[in-house]
Amino acid sequence: MSTDSRSVLSLRGLSYRYPDGTAALEDVSLDLREGERLALMGPNGAGKSTLLLHLNALLDGDGNLEVDGMALSKATVRTIRQKVGLVFQNPDDQLFCPTVFEDVAFGPRNMGLPDTEVERRVHGSLQAVGLDGFERRNPAHLSIGEKKRAAIATVHAMRPLVFVLDEPTGNLDARGRRGLLDLLLSLEGAQIIVTHDLELVRAVCSRVLVMGAGRIVTEGAVPDILADPAKLEVWGLA
Ligand SMILES: Nc1ncnc2c1ncn2[C@@H]1O[C@H](COP(=O)(O)OP(=O)(O)OP(=O)(O)O)[C@@H](O)[C@H]1O
Ligand SMILES: [Mg+2]
């Protein structure tokens, strides 16, 4: 990845407190370049999911977010939500329709695409995540691994500029996990992937950002960050 490629997402000085007073993020900044796959790591409670919720404006802390050269504002929030596709940690937060087809069609329809294109995208995205033929199934009755893949399909169908995935390999079986790594490697958009899966990071990502207690504690190239077992333990990654 050349360092002079275009910035697709930039976050500056984000701090956030939950309404109950919990300080979840302190002065977090990050940059994502076109086509880059960035791993976001750190122990439970470090603030990773909270950070992701800010990237497509589901939470609104203090700080500045810019996506594709566009600053977040009331006027741009809808476009930014289309450009930054968030796959939630818990797929039940993503799937709410009576059929898998409807769930995957929801985003493309919302974008105003014609029915034929919506259908084309639904089938293409289900195929991409290995859920060919699941169109008529009820998402509530899928296995957890199938739900995770369906949740990724709902975002994939919107062709986002940036994929943001919160623990995509959690609950996947070995084959599902390999399929997911291949899928991540094949996606065109840039990616921010929250994961505890060191193998995923090695196979898919070029850069790692490590969080702890609401802050960025270190960042760097994957081989550099993952090289020292003692440091991995200090950062809560191993
Ligand atoms: N809705 C909420 N209200 C109050 N505090 C919250 C809420 N959601 C999360 N928190 C707190 O904010 C902090 C960051 O939580 P977050 O879910 O972002 O961590 P995480 O890094 O994603 O952890 P994990 O690896 O367990 O998913 C934690 O201290 C958590 O308890
Ligand atoms: Mg989380």
Q: Measured in angstroms, how far is the CA atom of residue 115 from the centroid of ligand 2?
A: 35
pLDDT of residue 4: 65
Closest ligand to C-alpha of residue 41 is: 1
* Alpha-helical runs (H) found in the chain: 48-55, 77-83, 100-110, 115-128, 144-156, 174-186, 198-204, 222-225, 229-234
pLDDT digits (tens, 9 = 90+) for 100-148: 999 999 999 999 999 999 999 999 999 999 999 999 999 999 998 899 9
| CATH entry 3.40.50.300 includes domain 7-88+160-234 | yes
Asked if residues 207 and 219 have their Cβ atoms less than 8 Å apart, the reply is yes
Asked if residues 80 and 74 have their Cβ atoms less than 8 Å apart, the reply is no
* Best probe residue, ligand 1, of 14, 20, 44 (max atoms within 8 Å of C-beta): 44
* Ligand 1 pocket, CB under 6 A: 18, 20, 22, 24, 42, 44-50, 89
Please indicate, yes or no, whether the overall pTM of this predicted structure exceeds 0.85.
yes
Atom 25 of ligand 1: nearest residue by CA position: 44
